[in-house]
């Protein structure tokens, strides 16, 4: 079990963080309906326990890289609601200067390396980040995250093999929410225990209850301890569930309302809130103050984003190459 102690402060931090994630995503969904957010948009509602457990069990310097359902994970790494909402609206004050949008959040300062739209592409990049940490002789651990649909991309298996050969400090995290877009894992996976894929490469692998931040915290703490100890990669299958569709255009005809409601009975925010209330770790007034604080923060980030300018047309030529005098650019 994890050596990282979980305290009442941890539960209060989880509650505030998960409410922030949930309210941010709910507002993003509303703004999308108002056409203030365009393009692709994938909401994290229901999966907040994963981001919360990761936030409490890792260090700021531990890089995180993920797929396109990235808003809440970015917030979990400490990125501000302002820069995230501005990016969703395509504004210059966004975390990617308004040029990345929903799927391409990024912050070098917060060690959040995306936000990637190509299924599975970030997995190899995650191993690259881990190689860099090993090369620099740090004890930082990289979290390379992907969905259940990405586990059948060849890059995962190639990267796990190479990471094991090179003993890289990387945790491969499959956020298994049950559906690859609209295709159930039951229909697409020959083995329903996805975590067993890591065992083929002699990588320590285990399933995790992704609806409970304490379970996620313990699993991530144990995994980071292994990685920091020079024992190479770890594979975690974190079993979670999204309440909303794959994206905003998803009619969700592949699952029943009863199924969704059954998972809402295990809602991670309510689980944490009940734990706080049962142990009298916070009064109803304190809970109300947290909710009010988050609401004001979300209101503020929307106002900030709406009042921010769009990038100038000339910005399309910026941030392409790090080297400003790149010799292969021609008119």
| Dihedral angle, C-alpha 76, 236, 148, 143, nearest 10 ° | 40
227 closest CA partner among 296, 127, 322: 127
pLDDT at site 295: 98
pLDDT at site 183: 84
Burial of 85-123, coded b for 16+ CB within 10 Å and e otherwise, reads bbbbbbbebbbbbbebbbbbbbbeebbbbbbbbebbbbb
Detail the DSSP E strand segments found in 42-104: 64-65
pLDDT at site 331: 59
**Helix, coil or strand: residue 209:** strand
Average pLDDT taken over every residue of the chain: 94
Per-residue pLDDT, averaged over 196-203, amounts to 97
Per-residue pLDDT, averaged over 30-44, amounts to 95
Q: What is the pLDDT of residues 153-175, one digit of tens each?
A: 999 999 999 999 999 999 999 99
Q: For residue 1, what pLDDT band results from cuts at 50, 70 and 90?
A: very low
pLDDT at site 191: 81
- Domains of the chain, CATH where assigned: 8-311 (3.40.50.970)
Per-residue pLDDT, averaged over 239-259, amounts to 91
Q: For residue 24, what pLDDT band results from cuts at 50, 70 and 90?
A: very high
pLDDT at site 296: 98
Detail the DSSP E strand segments found in 148-195: 170-176, 179-180, 183-184
pLDDT at site 323: 75
Check the CA dihedral 179-183-187-188 and report its sign.
negative
Tokens 């002699």 sit on residue: 202
Burial of 272-292, coded b for 16+ CB within 10 Å and e otherwise, reads bbebbeeeebbeeeebeebee
Q: For residue 228, what pLDDT band results from cuts at 50, 70 and 90?
A: very high
Per-residue pLDDT, averaged over 82-87, amounts to 98
Contact 33, 57 (CB under 8 A): no
Per-residue pLDDT, averaged over 1-14, amounts to 84
Residues 6+ apart with CB under 8 A from 294: 16, 19, 20, 23
Contact 297, 81 (CB under 8 A): yes
DSSP secondary-structure letter at 311? P
Q: Note the Cα 6 to chain centre separation in Å.
A: 21
pLDDT at site 223: 98
Phi and psi of 9, rounded to 5°?
A: -65, -35
Q: For residue 330, what pLDDT band results from cuts at 50, 70 and 90?
A: low
Tokens of 18: 């998960």
Tokens of 33: 């309906």
> How many CB atoms sit inside 10 A of residue 80's CB?
17
Does residue 194 register a pLDDT over 50? yes
Per-residue pLDDT, averaged over 122-148, amounts to 97
């Amino acid at each position: 079990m994890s050596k990282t102690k979980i305290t009442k402060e941890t539960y209060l931090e989880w509650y505030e963080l998960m409410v922030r994630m949930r309210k941010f995503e709910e507002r993003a969904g509303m703004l999308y309906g108002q056409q203030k957010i365009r393009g692709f948009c994938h909401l994290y509602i229901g999966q907040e326990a994963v981001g919360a457990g990761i936030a409490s069990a890792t260090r700021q310097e531990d890089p995180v890289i993920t797929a396109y359902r990235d808003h809440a994970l970015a917030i979990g790494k400490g990125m501000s609601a302002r820069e995230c909402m501005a990016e969703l609206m395509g504004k210059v004050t966004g975390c990617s200067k308004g040029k990345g949008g929903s799927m391409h959040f990024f912050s070098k300062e917060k060690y959040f390396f995306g936000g990637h739209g190509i299924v599975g592409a970030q997995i190899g990049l995650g191993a690259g980040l881990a190689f860099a940490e090993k090369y620099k002789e740090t004890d930082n651990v990289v979290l390379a995250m992907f969905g259940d649909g990405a586990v059948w991309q060849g890059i995962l298996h190639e990267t796990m093999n190479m990471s094991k050969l090179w003993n890289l400090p990387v945790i491969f995290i499959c956020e298994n929410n049950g559906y690859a877009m609209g295709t159930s894992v039951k229909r697409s996976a020959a083995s329903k225990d996805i975590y067993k894929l890591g065992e083929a490469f002699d990588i320590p692998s285990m399933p995790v209850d992704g609806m409970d931040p304490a379970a996620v915290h313990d699993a991530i703490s144990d995994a980071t301890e292994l990685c920091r100890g020079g024992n190479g990669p770890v594979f975690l299958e974190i079993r979670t569930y999204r309440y909303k569709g794959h994206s905003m255009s998803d009619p969700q005809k592949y699952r029943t309302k009863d199924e969704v409601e059954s998972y809402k009975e295990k809602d991670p925010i309510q689980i944490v809130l009940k734990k706080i209330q049962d142990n009298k770790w916070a009064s109803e007034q304190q809970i109300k103050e947290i909710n009010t604080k988050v609401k004001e923060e979300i209101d503020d980030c929307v106002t900030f984003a709406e009042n921010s300018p769009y990038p100038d047309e000339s910005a399309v030529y910026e941030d392409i190459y790090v080297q400003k005098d790149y010799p292969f650019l021609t008119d």
